[in-house]
Structure 1
Amino acid sequence: MSEARTPVFSVRNLWKVFGPKAERVPGSELAELPAAELRERTGCTAAVRDVSFDVEKGEVFVVMGLSGSGKSTLVRCLTRLIEPTSGTLAIDGEDVLAMDTHRLRELRRHRAAMVFQHFGLLPHRTVLDNVAYGLEIQGLGKAERRAKAAELVEKVGLAGLEDRRPSQLSGGQQQRVGLARALAVDPSVLLFDEPFSALDPLIRREMQDEVVRLHREEGRTMVFITHDLSEALRLGTRIALMRDGGIVQLGTPEEIVGSPADDYVREFVRDVPREQVLTVATAMRPPTAGESESGPALRPRATVSEAIEAVSRSGGPVARVMDDGRLLGVVDHACLLDVVAGTGEGIAAREVTV
């Protein structure tokens, strides 16, 4: 964490075990068993296995994994839609596991709004009234909630469709209604559970663009569940990659692609175009005499792909990596291609904190 501020979510040693006498598994020798052996010996499945992480205010925290990895169970544990078996869980410093029914209702209605893959829209209500539904539950007057809902309908790109029913909308439009409905209660965090996986590729891309735009404009904290690596890399500030209920690696997209934690992660990211994810901060080196005064300037977070284009276009030997007028280093064709090929020193050794 950059400062000593309270995370939006703080999760420590969280377990969710399904099966008979599930509570006996965490903290015992059974916890060390592989998934198949645990099922065979106890009849239990550890869907979430000793997971710890913080979600910082304003970040898009992506939980990614294949089907059965535990990611959807994990996001449901955050608001106790599924009850954790053991561990600690807090939102804004408040113990979620100690919340009574009233506090849990408040958490789900006001503080952590879910956006699901299956939109859950009310078929007999219009777009406007679907968006206003959460505000109605909160007791807001009709005129006020419809006015706020109208603003959000426009924000998510559905202006002019306020009076349509869900059956009259495309899948992408329905998902926009679901997003607007979640935003209407002004939650401190949005929880997305594979919201776009049922959409056509082009519509899915549009919805990803919408999430990027909303995050850029509002800076709202988001927890995003997906099985799609390209979606995770595109949206995530940080990514937690899950396997068999546990987190295999937690890091930035650049760290996941540039420094895989093990062979599983390495195989996962094998086909990712490294030059589109890794930045010049990964590739740069100290300047030699004369290199600090010439060449195009790049921001530290420019991708390697952008740097290759800039160096080629300039016709010079190097590009300078600059931050607020300060020279951090230079990149040339050799070090850029080194990073693309994966033969460099790796992010942990080369990246400079900016």
Structure 2
Amino acid sequence: MLSIFVETSCNRYNRDECEFCHVYEPLMEHPVSEWHLTVQQAQVMADKIQNVEALNSLAQQEINLTGGEASQNPDIVEISKVFQSVTPHVCLHTNLDILSKKSQRWQRLVELMERDVRIDITLYPTAWERSQKYFLEEMLKLQSKLIVNVVFESLADLQNQIGLLLNFFQNKSFIHVTELLQSYAEKVAILIEKHPNCDEKLFTVIMGDTEAFANKPEYIFGISLLPAFSIDKNGYREMTSLPFPRDRYLIGCPAARGSIDIMTVQQNGEMTPCCDVGNLKCQPKFGNILQDSPKEIMGKMEGSMKILASGISKNHENIKSGRAGEQVEEGIPPYCS
């Protein structure tokens, strides 16, 4: 999958069209026009993707448009058209925290769904009743597929979010979706009752055989459970997750082993072979899709893979010697393995 950042603004507080930013300090000094990926930049990216085999292969799996809040980009519909010229599999991720159906953000999402761009969401309990629940109901009328990210800080938090989804779908005709969610709910309930302070290993054992998708021709539903992390004052992710504070949460890096399964493309064109939204801070870059030629990109990919392998080897040594969490000179996050 290619994950492409198309918008810097998060709309965390405004919930609609932001005109200034008081959340992310570096944005304050820049005009709004610089927050958005442009159609011209998207076209440059699309052309490069088609001329770099590794990127084109990932694109044929899926191109995910993200941010920030991707629906904030005023040109997102035209941008999606550009990427649909590369692959029919284009999706957009949104927080679905929208003021009203008159919102430009909602109108863009409607047009995207009409163009067969799948809209996925992250569930936010604080926004569920005021907006997400209503607009998810509207989305059911416009698309027959959905993936929901559930970011949880504790087992109780996970139970609550699964409950929100289960209650929502129980009154619908998608029995296969409610059956899947009921399975999740039952297993989380067992954990809370019998193992409230379980570690990640036990959580994985109990939840491990649960399907991620409920797939029927009339509706495809997917759910992704993601543990939350604290971020330190320097913007780095902690070694342990909030729900499982006793366990180091390590991320396997296929790129260090010669396989690229995902590529994140930042708005400035820099590429990282993982789901780096800015808090992983992995230094080796796999080229700049806006600035580098296809040949240069391939060369930087090869060189960065070697750097990743070297840094991850040192991470393993640090973990074994009791120095887990130390930064290595290659700039590889200490939890990458």
Same-fold status (TM-score > 0.5): no
Q: Considering fraction of residues, name the structure with more strand.
A: 1
**TM-score, normalised by the number of residues in structure 1:** 0.35
Please say which structure displays the higher CA radius of gyration: 1
**TM-score, normalised by the number of residues in structure 2:** 0.36
